[in-house]
Structure 1
């Protein structure tokens, strides 16, 4: 049975697109989890004096500079592979191109314990290949959402697939904590993650097709829903008004807000385990669960923020942008300031405040992210691509900056680290609130819009096209 089966022939599953969504989410989570493995295992990859411990499990003691490079090199790999993957996704079958990323990620992850044994340079190469695999994630998110989501489900697909950033940490942190303290030691973290990747991509091979029309498990009713309201034209390009976009105060305000937000996000991703284990002195097992707790709450708030912002129709759209962005950046900064003055001895209080500080960042989906798409409309993909550029910059900068600040791992070091990030968040949020504007920019040609009823019919196709262009173009960054 195919997507064009005979009338009356029932499909195996009336909502098979959700099976595709879950399968893709598993694969994306596995790729991102592989990237996050070192952020945790660096706290347990220390030499042991136990003579019964194998040489492989003993690990190596890397200095702060080497640790910074091991965290930052994934961004270098992603940047290097962005152009090749962009080209391949445009020319070849997306199913097999994304599978290649899974193979690269699984192999590089499973080889890391051996690479570590040979030395820092080999470890660095393996980590770089994990970044290369990551560069395939955003193109597949865009392609899958454009083809497999109905127009009313773009938010669901976008929220879950981009939320794999949080899901990967929710998986990696506790699993790594349990494995590091087991008799198998830290190398088992990489073997388990690689196995998870292999299993996830086996489902990908079995279940995924590039389009619903190709899939034998998609029935006519579901296919009709997937095709409703979508543009029949493919790869239609509209000339970008570069000058107007790059001189837009609203977009610059959103990009500045993104910079502050993503610096804090990288602090969470890269240094949570170190803060909980090295500074608060929780054991490795507890560190895994405690480091994942704020991220789990952040993922829930990310979904709540996006949905509630759409449902809250009693407030002006621009006001909503300012409110949600202020919750994400301003409220987070407030809790980071409190956290800066909590002593090591009050570790339970520190964890509670840490959860508030980090989880509130999840409201950014209804702040600067939404501002860019509302203000630049059909050109939203270009504005969002710049956020991916900023993301790359923060991944490269954060390890070196934070390691320099917390070199002695003292109360003063962490206080300064949190206060600096809080100050950046407050400044960036203030700039955003001044220039935030939900109205479409003049260069989006809003004069061509129809009356309300007709506009709502015409807008979905443009939204779909912009959405697809955003994720396709963002692949040039990761």
Structure 2
């Protein structure tokens, strides 16, 4: 057995975060390199190592490359939920979810400067895809060689760490798809509260990621270079808030997990809504003030790590991968919905257009946060403590002490 100087669960966390960041970075490459490509029909139809080749072969090959990228992207949230459920101690869910879902911010922090440097170099825009493909090869090779889904299967994990990870958790008997308690999951008010909250959060995230450059350039009248930098700046702050909120949530011991998730979710959604309301009434000539308020609104949304994301994993326990998959599905839906929603409101990039857009999103955030605060429950659901057999009878499993309470235990 190899003796690791740090707990193996944190090495698993870092390894998985790098892989998930790589997946998102590969998807983001086209969003940047399209402004670097030559103005011809083939290069405008392109996606990581196959994208330059696909660009010369035609739209069908490009579409195929993007489909494979989408398939990889669909695994991000289920993997985050599964790793958190299997590897994190009950008091480390915040930091695990913070890093694993922080791949959205990390991918942009990596891709934007690297792509800008490569595009402006003699290597050209095609080198962006080759570099990202090389990084993916390294990270996924490391992942396949080192990662195990269960701590008990990893040769580096000592018995002491296995006990630490399992302390306070429900004993997991099975995770086969046929044993998923679909009826209990789909009738859980707490999970529906998490999913509804995620819809409001993620559709606002799409407003930021898809329309920030338009707001900066067409409304605030910044040039393209400044718009790109200003649109990317809040991502760094949002990631720092996301990670900090996860760590802080785990550190606080004298508030129940349910109340902690409600508090952090309110900061992420209701406080962000307040900033969007302020932003809605800032006149066009107040450029700096508008940018500061926009950064504040986007940054506090990073607290969603310790809000609905953490609540979903704590409540569904060993089925966290399934509950997080639904958040992934909601994310995919918002990517399609948001452009139609915004374009119905913002037609001429006027003050009234953007005021109505920000107010609409603020109202949505306040509504979904109210639903979450009313129905969210971060304690392990009863159905996570049962095992359904082939005859549809349920046997209550032996459970360990609950951790949704004030504790002094230090793991």
Tell me which interval the TM-score lies in, with the shorter structure as reference length. 0.7 to 0.9
Aligned to 1:36: 28
Shift, 1:428, TM fit: 1.5
Comparing 112-121 with 425-434, greater Cα deviation is found at 112-121
Is the 1:180–1:285 contact (alpha carbons within 8 Å) kept by the matching residues of 2?
Answer: no
Shift, 1:126, TM fit: 2.7
Shift, 1:209, TM fit: 6.1
Specify whether residues 234 and 240 from structure 1 end up closer, same or farther in structure 2 by C-alpha distance, changes over 3 A only: closer
Q: 1:305-330, CA deviations, whole angstroms, 9 ceiling, x for partnerless residues?
A: 22323433444554433322221111
Aligned to 2:293: 353
Is the 1:372–1:380 contact (alpha carbons within 8 Å) kept by the matching residues of 2?
Answer: yes
1:206-355 equivalences in 2 (<5 Å): 207-208=146-147, 218=156, 222-228=157-163, 230=166, 233=173, 235=175, 240=181, 242=183, 244-315=184-255, 317-355=257-295
Shift, 1:302, TM fit: 1.7
Q: 1:146-184, CA deviations, whole angstroms, 9 ceiling, x for partnerless residues?
A: 666566655443432222122112222333344455565
Q: TM-score, normalised by structure 2?
A: 0.76
Shift, 1:358, TM fit: 0.9
Provide the rounded CA distance (Å) in 1 between the counterparts of 2:300 and 2:134: 33
Q: Which one of the candidate residues 9, 14, 17 is aligned to 1:22? A: 14
Comparing 338-347 with 300-309, greater Cα deviation is found at 338-347
Is the 1:321–1:371 contact (alpha carbons within 8 Å) kept by the matching residues of 2?
Answer: yes
Secondary structure of the residue aligned to 2:288 is helix
Shift, 1:259, TM fit: 0.9
Aligned to 2:390: none
Shift, 1:215, TM fit: 6.7
**Is there any run of 5+ residues in structure 1 with no aligned partner, and where?**
4-10, 49-54, 63-69, 71-107, 460-478
Aligned to 1:163: 102
Specify whether residues 456 and 27 from structure 1 end up closer, same or farther in structure 2 by C-alpha distance, changes over 3 A only: same
Provide the rounded CA distance (Å) in 2 between the counterparts of 1:325 and 1:319: 10
Provide the rounded CA distance (Å) in 2 between the counterparts of 1:313 and 1:212: 25
Specify whether residues 109 and 393 from structure 1 end up closer, same or farther in structure 2 by C-alpha distance, changes over 3 A only: same
> Is residue 196 of structure 1 aligned with residue 135 of structure 2?
yes
Shift, 1:415, TM fit: 3.3
Aligned to 2:64: 125
Provide the rounded CA distance (Å) in 1 between the counterparts of 2:328 and 2:247: 23
Specify whether residues 374 and 148 from structure 1 end up closer, same or farther in structure 2 by C-alpha distance, changes over 3 A only: closer
Is the 2:37–2:125 contact (alpha carbons within 8 Å) kept by the matching residues of 1?
Answer: no
Is the 1:31–1:134 contact (alpha carbons within 8 Å) kept by the matching residues of 2?
Answer: yes
Aligned to 2:401: 455
Shift, 1:240, TM fit: 1.5
Shift, 1:298, TM fit: 1.5
> Is residue 172 of structure 1 aligned with residue 111 of structure 2?
yes
Number of matched residues?
Answer: 390
Provide the rounded CA distance (Å) in 1 between the counterparts of 2:194 and 2:182: 18
Provide the rounded CA distance (Å) in 2 between the counterparts of 1:20 and 1:372: 21
Secondary structure of the residue aligned to 1:110 is coil
Aligned to 1:426: 366
Query: Aligned-pair RMSD on alpha carbons?
Result: 4.1
**Richer in helix (by share):** 1
Is the 1:39–1:273 contact (alpha carbons within 8 Å) kept by the matching residues of 2?
Answer: no
